[in-house]
Structure 1
Amino acid sequence: MSATSPDPAAPDRARPMLDNPRADRVKAVRALAGRSARARHGQFLVEGPQSVRELVREDAARVRDLYVTEAAAERYGEIVAAARAARVRTHLATPAVLDAMSPDAQHVLAVAEPRDVTLAEVLAGSPRLVAVLSRVRDPGNAGAVVRAADAAGADAVVLTAESVDVHNPKVVRSTAGSLFHLPVVTGVSLAEVVAGLRGAGLAVLAADGAGEHDLDDLLDVAGHGGTPGTAPRGGEPDAAVGARTPGAGAAPDLSGPTAWVFGNEAWGLPDADRALADAVVRVPIRGRAESLNLATAATVCLYASSRAQR
């Protein structure tokens, strides 16, 4: 590099240092922690080096502004270099300013635009593994499931309309960047999701501690006799809601295209939601634990399908 060549890892020093924690810009960024401000401005916060790194690497066009302190810019030079290469506006700010914008950002913060993904777009990609969150309200759990789905190789995650906002800062942080790795659909009803997934050839399995099928038993026979999309209660799907009428049928085959439905942390899936699924599956508990955390159970189920599909 010549003496006159700019350092690609250096922030844009042509912009003035942001040093007033009470400035309007700082207040506007901080306000994006609230849902109403996110909806009004069509922007959300991405906090911390891991999440910001993945955002800039995967979809830099969505980044409106990047804020870093001098120390963070030096420590995470690869983030700044990638942002500059993508012509992202990069601002130096004092630690007090970054702390005022977000106490959880570790002095690396981006403001980004949401990516709207429709269920039709996901189905057009012929998905084989999808996680569906129905009425999941806890942001940490929702983010952890998105991260687990990404790790297990899922093709998409769907959050029903009654679930937490996926752009809630805690959800975004909890995904550790996985939010930018796979499509995430929001704002749809469970009935619409189930009908669409089943129509695309996926078996829809509800995860519930009282399920009639044991996950380990399904893994034992995966690819050797289960029939994807065939419910234990059998019958034909209801065209309006995708539910199946009672009857006899084979156990689901985890080796086939599968969507897992996970319910609320406190009360799980209501009877009406379980009735929409092709089968209800329980994760076996062999110790004395009363139950599994939602994100833990989701991880076990998603990895079971991932293993069976391999």
Structure 2
Amino acid sequence: MIESPRNARVREVRRLQQKAERTSSGLFLLEGPQAVREALECRPELVTDLFVTPTALERHTDLGDLAFRHELELQFATEEAIDAMADTRTPQGVIAVCRQFPASIRTLFGQSSQAEGGDDRDGEPGPKLVAILEEVRDPGNAGTIIRAADAAGADAVILTGRTVDLYNPKVVRATTGSLFHLPIAVDIELDAVLARVREAGMQVIAADVKGDAITELSQDELARPTAWVFGNEARGLSDDNVALADRSVRVPIYGLAESMNLSTAASVVLYASAFAQRAGE
């Protein structure tokens, strides 16, 4: 039983709240039973440490079963020790440490090219729906867009170098486990990403308040393999970045709201593509 919040292991885990420590160690923090459950069910090989309070284990007995199934040792800790490790005030008695697992652009797009029709990724169909985050700085927005992309059945999410760290604890929490469900690439420049996207035969659509209303797009246009590009919460995409897209599109506001939250707008357009791509299924 780890009892003291000043325990050396507690301090070591707590340091993962800092980006420099996450980068040097290649690890990140996972908090709460739901996120830990997703990790154990989807990517158990990534979990290096699992800390629980006895009360939390009684409440979430399936976590103990999953840990046993994957031969992962549970480490008991007091509520005070768990709270000292956590970034949030309510970790619910469960903390895990995981290895980072960013996807590579090569894995996402393979060798497919526009000349080949974009549907030969080492013998597999090419991606149909991708979300690209360019300079999205708010952790809650980034995590929620990842969750929305997962829900919409997107093939991948790509975070460019100016976007918030994928393994920031607030981003991880906002994904509610979706970061374990689909490949996510990080630290790539937008122009390099778009070059690979086009080689894969995908169209590029920028989400931009000055663009055409999404209602002006036909279902055939929305059904095409698409990479959506989302920009900064305050400034949006730069004019230069918008110019890199095939077209720019906005979500119209019919009521009196001054603007729409980025993650909400992203959910709308990702689902517009998903609906069109799955029409008739």
TM-score, normalised relative to structure 2 = 0.91
Matched, 1:179 2:176: no
Which residue does the alignment assign to 2:216?
Answer: 217
Aligned to 1:254: 222
Bigger shift: residues 151-160 or 87-96: 87-96
Q: Which amino acid aligns with 2:231?
A: G
Residue 118 of structure 1 aligns to which amino acid in structure 2? Answer: S
Q: What are the residue-to-residue correspondences of 1:79-118 with 2, within 5 Å?
A: 79-102=63-86, 103-118=89-104
1:291 equivalent among 237, 241, 259: 259
Matches of 1:216 and 1:79, distance apart in 2: 45
**Partner of 1:236 in structure 2?**
none
Return the alpha-carbon distance in structure 1 between the equivalents of residues 102 and 264 of structure 2.
Answer: 27
Alignment partners' CA distance in 2, 1:87 and 1:105: 23
1:110 partner amino acid: A
| AA partner of residue 219 (structure 2) | A
SS at match of 1:32: helix
Cα deviation, residue 217, structure 1: 2.1
Alignment coverage as a number of residue pairs: 262
Q: Deviations over 1:24-66 (max 9, x none)?
A: 1000001101101111211100111111110110000010000
* Structure 1 stretches of at least 4 aligned residues deviating more than 6 Å after TM superposition: none
| Secondary structure in 1 matching 2:237 | coil
Report what 1:266 is aligned to.
234
Matched residue SS, 2:223: coil
Deviation, 1:175, is 0.2
Q: Is the 8 A contact 1:132 1:157 kept in 2?
A: yes
Match runs of 1:62-141 below 5 Å: 62-102=46-86, 103-124=89-110, 125=121, 126-141=126-141
Moved more, 164-173 or 104-113: 104-113
- Deviation for aligned residue 1:104: 3.8
Task: Give the SS at the match of 2:40.
Answer: helix
Check 1:292–1:80 CA distance in 2 against 1; reply closer, same or farther (3 A cut).
same
Q: Percent identity?
A: 50
Contact 1:209 1:291 in 2 (8 A): no
The corresponding residue for 2:276 is 308
- AA partner of residue 216 (structure 1): T
Q: Which has the larger radius of gyration?
A: 1
Can you list the C-alpha shifts for 1:131-190, whole angstroms capped at 9, x where unaligned? 000001110100000000000000100000011000000000000000100000000000
Structure 1 counterpart of 2:216, one-letter code: D
Task: Quote the residue 1:164 is aligned against.
Answer: 164
SS at match of 2:256: coil
Worse-matched range after superposition: 54-63 or 86-95: 86-95
Q: Give the stretch that moved more between structures: 36-45 or 177-186.
A: 36-45
Distance (Å, rounded) in 2 between the aligned partners of 1:187 and 1:290: 32
Amino acid at match of 2:29: L
Measured after TM superposition, the shift of residue 290 of structure 1 is 1.6
Q: How far did 1:107 drift?
A: 1.1
Distance in 2 of aligned mates of 1:58 and 1:200: 28
